[in-house]
């Protein structure tokens, strides 16, 4: 199913979503036909704002190749009782967990042949839409960066899949400390061609991250939306940092949560050893066309470092302190308040940086609402007509 690209920069009118697959749905394409040239005025404005290319759909910020109908239909899709959703904010271990789940659920290899990559066999629902998801065989392993409010939850009653398996779909929700997430997402935006931001600067990206003006929305709001549901029976909560420190234990947790074949595999020593070995960084850095086609990237491999505290190589002390204050303001008196003390502290010797407690004041940066309004109201932004085709494999 090749999806025509349109460059949307304005909130679009409601459209009736599609919920039924075509008779012969084609897999998303992997060839390099997914970059729609910007109008000269649009390109100049993005450069002036030092902003990655984006789209607005119903007031939400998305990657520029996302289709409004696909986003809307994904929000309203009816999950099956056998569905497994890997749910994250970008760069919080999404592909890592998908890779583990694919081995546990299907016990077979995938990619890099066209149409068999992980981002095709386990697609992002808001990218491909409900109709394409309907064409997949179950159990379906699906990916999403939706906040809890946008997540499809209520499965179909009386469906064959529901009768065979559990009555509720399963959600694996993973988090990562915001400083490392920010740095990793910065590299992601520079590396993927669709954002047209290969020379982007970290200081500019940091401001966009702090104000939630990036594709897939605000990190802190996304995290808060999930907090009341961490202990739900059909939700498995994982921390990226815990997976780094104890990968085998994390694979066991995932296997027992999924049940069935997955639970049997993690109790088989040989199978568990193989899956853990194939899920380590050095193994995932091999043959990276399994995740996304190289044609979608500028230069870097998709799996880059997979580490913690890489943010110290990019953030100034002032930026680190601002992030600390933003984190406390957003997550004070929540279960997340005590997370990542070691990962987010400035000093390596264990002494926490003394970030001031006053509310953040960004005199050099417009407020989030004003910033968003400043570029959506510009005369330079007009939806582009498109005759090209876009790849479903061009975003994290």
Is residue 256 domain-resident?
yes
Give me the domain span that covers residue 173: 3-346
Task: Please give the Cα distance from 361 to 358 (Å, whole number).
Answer: 9
Is residue 51 domain-resident?
yes
Q: How many domains does the chain have?
A: 1
pLDDT value, residue 117:
73
Within 13 Å, how many C-alpha atoms sit on residue 141's CB side? 20
**Known catalytic membership, residue 187:** no
Is residue 16 domain-resident?
yes
Is residue 114 domain-resident?
yes
Q: Which uninterrupted H or E stretch holds 189? A: helix 178-191
pLDDT value, residue 145:
98
Cβ atoms 89, 224 nearer than 8 A: no
Cβ atoms 205, 315 nearer than 8 A: no
Given 8, 51, 145, 211, the catalytic residue: 145
pLDDT value, residue 167:
72
Is residue 306 domain-resident?
yes
Is residue 378 domain-resident?
no
Task: Please give the Cα distance from 12 to 27 (Å, whole number).
Answer: 27
Is residue 162 domain-resident?
yes
**pLDDT digit string (tens) for the chain, length 396 residues:** 333 333 333 333 333 333 333 333 444 443 333 334 444 544 444 554 578 999 999 999 999 999 999 999 999 999 999 999 999 999 999 999 999 999 999 866 655 566 667 778 899 999 999 999 999 988 999 999 999 999 999 776 554 444 444 579 999 999 999 999 999 999 988 888 888 888 899 999 999 999 999 999 999 999 999 999 999 999 999 999 999 999 999 999 999 999 999 999 999 999 999 999 999 988 887 776 665 566 567 565 545 555 677 899 999 999 999 999 999 999 999 999 999 999 999 987 444 444 444 444 444 444 444 544 544 444 333 333 333 333 333 344
Question: β-pairing, 55-57 with 60-62?
Answer: antiparallel
Omega cis (within 30) before 139 = yes
Omega cis (within 30) before 112 = yes
User: Residue 233's domain is classified under what CATH number?
Assistant: 3.40.50.300
Alpha-carbon radius of gyration of the chain: 21
Angle at the Cα of 289 (from 140 to 86), degrees rounded to 5?
30
Q: Which uninterrupted H or E stretch holds 323? A: helix 317-331
Task: Please give the Cα distance from 2 to 223 (Å, whole number).
Answer: 32
pLDDT value, residue 21:
38
Is residue 192 domain-resident?
yes
Cβ atoms 229, 387 nearer than 8 A: no
């Amino acid at each position: 199913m090749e999806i025509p690209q349109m460059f949307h920069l304005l909130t679009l009118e409601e459209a009736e979503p599609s919920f039924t697959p075509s008779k012969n749905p084609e897999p998303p394409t992997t060839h390099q036909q997914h970059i729609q040239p910007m109008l000269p005025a649009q390109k100049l404005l993005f450069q002036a704002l030092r902003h990655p290319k984006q789209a607005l759909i119903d007031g939400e910020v998305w990657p520029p190749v996302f289709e409004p109908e696909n986003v809307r239909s994904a929000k309203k899709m009816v999950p099956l009782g056998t569905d497994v959703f890997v749910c994250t904010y970008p760069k919080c271990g999404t592909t890592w967990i998908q890779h583990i789940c694919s081995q546990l659920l299907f016990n077979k290899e995938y990619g890099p042949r066209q149409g068999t990559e992980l981002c095709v066999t386990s697609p992002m629902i808001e990218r491909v839409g409900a109709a394409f998801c309907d064409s997949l065989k179950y159990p379906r392993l699906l990916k999403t960066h939706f906040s809890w409010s946008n997540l499809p939850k209520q499965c179909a009653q009386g469906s064959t899949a529901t009768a065979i398996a559990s009555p509720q779909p399963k959600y694996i929700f993973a988090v990562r400390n915001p400083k490392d997430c920010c740095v990793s997402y910065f590299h992601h935006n520079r590396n993927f061609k669709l954002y047209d931001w290969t020379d982007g600067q970290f200081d500019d990206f940091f401001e966009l991250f702090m104000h939630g003006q990036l594709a897939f929305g605000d990190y802190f709001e996304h995290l808060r939306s999930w907090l009341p549901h961490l202990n739900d029976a059909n939700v498995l909560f994982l921390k990226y940092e815990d997976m780094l420190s104890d990968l085998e234990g994390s694979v066991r947790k995932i296997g027992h949560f999924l049940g069935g074949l997955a639970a049997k595999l993690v109790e088989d020593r040989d199978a568990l050893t193989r899956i853990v070995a194939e899920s380590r960084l050095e193994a995932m850095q091999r043959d990276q066309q399994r995740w996304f086609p190289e044609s979608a990237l500028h230069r870097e491999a998709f799996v880059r470092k997979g580490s913690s505290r890489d943010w110290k190589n990019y953030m100034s002390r002032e930026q680190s302190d601002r992030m600390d204050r933003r984190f406390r303001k957003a997550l004070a008196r929540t279960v997340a308040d005590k997370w990542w003390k070691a990962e987010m502290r400035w000093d390596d010797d264990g002494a926490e940086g003394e970030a001031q407690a006053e509310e953040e004041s960004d005199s050099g940066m417009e407020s989030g609402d004003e910033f968003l309004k400043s570029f959506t109201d510009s005369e330079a932004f007009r939806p582009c007509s498109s005759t090209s085709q876009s790849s479903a494999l061009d975003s994290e």
